[in-house]
Amino acid sequence: MDSWWELGEGRGAGGMELAIQDITCPFCMERGNFRVAFHATKRHAQRPKVLNFDTLECGSCKGYVLCLWSAGHGLHGYRVLPWPLKIDTHPKEWPEDVGRMWVQAHRSLEGENWDAAAVMARSGLQLALRRSNAVGSSLKKGIEDVASKGLLPPVMREWADTVRELGNDAAHPAPGQSPTDPQDARDIVRFLDYVLEYLYSLPDQIRQYRARRDERHS
Ligand SMILES: [Zn+2]
């Protein structure tokens, strides 16, 4: 986005009204429990485009967030400040099962549960690779396969070689297994972030872009 006036233009949530039910309080993590405490607007000088500046009050903890939002054609875009630092949902365009594991991997990092974070990240990767029909007996082979089909860029395959937890393919823990190194846990979760971004978010953004372009030319 190059201008705030592009908010809600071709990308965003459904509907012309702010989806308060989708906003999570950054303080108490309750979702959608807000009332509009203050509302102001700014109109574009040339176009029928309005920016809305809303201050929302959380009904649960009485914290406030500032929400800048604007509607386009059947859509609206918004930005909220402050945003929750805890991850509570995955992007809507991701498959539910993969997204759930991604959320749990991040929550495990927040809780400094390094073994759990690595296990969840590996499971999320495995599932994403399976969904992409990856062939290969290990995570690394699966990543190689998906990259060779052009679904992931070569730089991701090279990166995979340096992520130590990707090599830890054992389905069952061995007696005396050493604990996961915190940095290794963070590395594999970061790797998962990028894989999902590339497999699901980028194509979704391109689809939306093309739909917007087709609409303009129709
Ligand atoms: Zn709250």
pLDDT, tens digit, 9 for 90 and up, residues 119-130: 999 999 999 999
Distance from residue 25's CA to the centre of ligand 1 (Å): 5
Assign 217 a pLDDT band (cuts: 50, 70, 90).
Answer: confident
Distance from residue 191's CA to the centre of ligand 1 (Å): 31
- Is the pLDDT score of 211 beyond 90? no
Contact 43, 60 (CB under 8 A): no
From CA 124, how far away is CA 199, in angstroms rounded?
13
- Is the pLDDT score of 4 beyond 90? yes
Mean predicted lDDT score pLDDT of the chain: 93
- Is the pLDDT score of 184 beyond 80? yes
CA of 159: how far to CAs of 121, 148, 167, in Å?
A: 15, 14, 12
From CA 65, how far away is CA 23, in angstroms rounded?
10
Distance from residue 114's CA to the centre of ligand 1 (Å): 29
Q: What is the CA radius of gyration of the chain?
A: 21
CA 95 to chain centre: 11
Distance from residue 68's CA to the centre of ligand 1 (Å): 18
Least confident segment among 76-85, 147-156, 165-174, 185-194: 165-174
Q: Which tokens sit at 134?
A: 């990856």
Residue 208's pLDDT is 86
Residue 171's pLDDT is 59
Of 73 and 80, the structure prediction assigns the larger pLDDT to 80
Q: What is the pLDDT of residues 93-147, one digit of tens each?
A: 999 999 999 999 999 999 999 999 999 999 999 999 999 999 988 999 999 999 9
Residue 45's pLDDT is 96
Mark the residues whose beta carbon lies below 5 A from ion ligand 1: 25, 27-28, 58, 60-61, 63
pTM of the model: 0.72
Q: What is the pLDDT of residues 27-64, one digit of tens each?
A: 999 999 999 999 999 999 999 999 999 999 999 999 99
Long-range contacts of the stretch 200-208 (C-beta < 8 A, 24+): 200/91, 200/93, 200/94, 200/95, 200/98, 201/91, 201/93, 201/94, 204/93, 205/11, 208/10, 208/11
3-state secondary structure of 85: coil
Distance from residue 19's CA to the centre of ligand 1 (Å): 17
Assign 170 a pLDDT band (cuts: 50, 70, 90).
Answer: low
Contact 32, 89 (CB under 8 A): no
Distance from residue 79's CA to the centre of ligand 1 (Å): 17
